[in-house]
């Protein structure tokens, strides 16, 4: 690998790393308690196995869900505020064009996509990370519509009222989990991205141009 003689550089800012791992915990709690809540009145013809859920019963799951909600939302607001105000999003996630995304997804599927410089996200990554942020926002908004279909009835109306918001909430959860599956698979394929998200640093090729 060309990075052998490269230098250790800062890849992920501290705030991004902290919010990333808090988010992992928050999403884990939200999903596992959410499955238990789903099981109380399934939208589709299946239930999640009880052992894969959190809370023990409906009230317990609701307690977890509405406690972790604060962790998710506050952490998410910190991350998004930082991303917008510091220019982190602009530098790392933009620009992203459909053409570039298709090209990079194609290359990734053929195993040709380079990951030498972890400071630079390819177009497929940019689209995926932006998509995950959008999904998280949709999850919170549809959750608010389900929680408060009277106080936030205008929001609920955008999603097809209370019952529509339940479907939006569920489908956004599925989409976010698809992102997680791909994301974790990519980390498994490029394992040095994992320590980089912990320590913030990684070796990059001497020839890399950086951000």
Partner 1 sequence: MKRLFGMQDSLGAHSRPQIEKIERRLFLKQGLSLGAVTLLSGCDVTDAESVQKVLWRMSHWNDRVQAWLFDPNKLAPEFPESRITKPFPFNAFYSEAEVPKVDAASYQLEVAGLVREKKAWTLPELYALPQVSQVTRHICVEGWSAIGKWSGVRFGEFLRRIGADLTAKYVGFRCADNYSTSIDMPTALHPQTQLTLRFADQILPPQYGFPMKLRIPTKLGFKNPKHIVALFVTNEYPGGYWEDQGYNWFSGS
Binding interface with partner 1 (CB under 8 A): 28-29, 32, 36-43, 47, 50-60, 62-64, 66-67, 70, 148-151, 153, 161-163, 166
To the nearest whole angstrom, how small is the minimum distance from the Cβ of residue 15 to partner 1? 25
Residue (5 or 41) nearer to partner 1, CB? 41
User: Are 53 and 88 in contact, with CB atoms under 8 Å apart?
Assistant: no
To the nearest whole angstrom, how small is the minimum distance from the Cβ of residue 169 to partner 1? 10
Which residues are within 8 A (CB) of 111 and not within 5 positions of it... i.e. 6 or more apart?
A: none
To the nearest whole angstrom, how small is the minimum distance from the Cβ of residue 149 to partner 1? 5
Q: What's the first-to-final CA gap in the chain, in angstroms?
A: 20
Which residues are within 8 A (CB) of 208 and not within 5 positions of it... i.e. 6 or more apart?
A: 6, 116, 117, 119, 120
To the nearest whole angstrom, how small is the minimum distance from the Cβ of residue 132 to partner 1? 21
User: Are 57 and 63 in contact, with CB atoms under 8 Å apart?
Assistant: no
Residue (94 or 163) nearer to partner 1, CB? 163
Residue (45 or 95) nearer to partner 1, CB? 45
Residue (37 or 108) nearer to partner 1, CB? 37
């Amino acid at each position: 690998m060309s990075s052998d003689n490269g230098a250790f550089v800062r890849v992920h800012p501290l705030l991004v790393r902290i919010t990333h791992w808090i988010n992992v915990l928050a999403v884990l709690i939200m999903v596992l308690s959410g499955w238990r809540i789903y099981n109380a009145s399934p939208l589709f013809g299946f239930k999640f196995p009880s052992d894969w859920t959190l809370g023990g019963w409906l009230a317990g799951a609701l307690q977890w869900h509405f406690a972790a909600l604060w962790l998710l939302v506050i952490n998410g607001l910190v991350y998004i505020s930082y991303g917008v105000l510091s220019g982190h999003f602009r530098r790392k996630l933009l620009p992203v064009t459909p053409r570039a995304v298709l090209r990079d997804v194609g290359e990734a599927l053929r195993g040709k996509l380079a990951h030498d410089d972890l400071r630079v996200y390819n177009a497929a990554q940019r689209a995926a990370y932006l998509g995950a942020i959008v999904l998280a926002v949709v999850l919170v908004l549809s959750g608010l519509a389900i929680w408060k279909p009277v106080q936030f009835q205008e929001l609920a109306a955008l999603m097809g009222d209370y019952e529509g918001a339940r479907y939006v909430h569920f489908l956004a959860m599925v989409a976010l989990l698809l992102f997680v599956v791909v994301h974790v698979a990519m980390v498994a394929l490029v394992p040095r991205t994992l320590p980089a998200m912990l320590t913030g640093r990684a070796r990059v090729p001497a020839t890399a141009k950086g951000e």
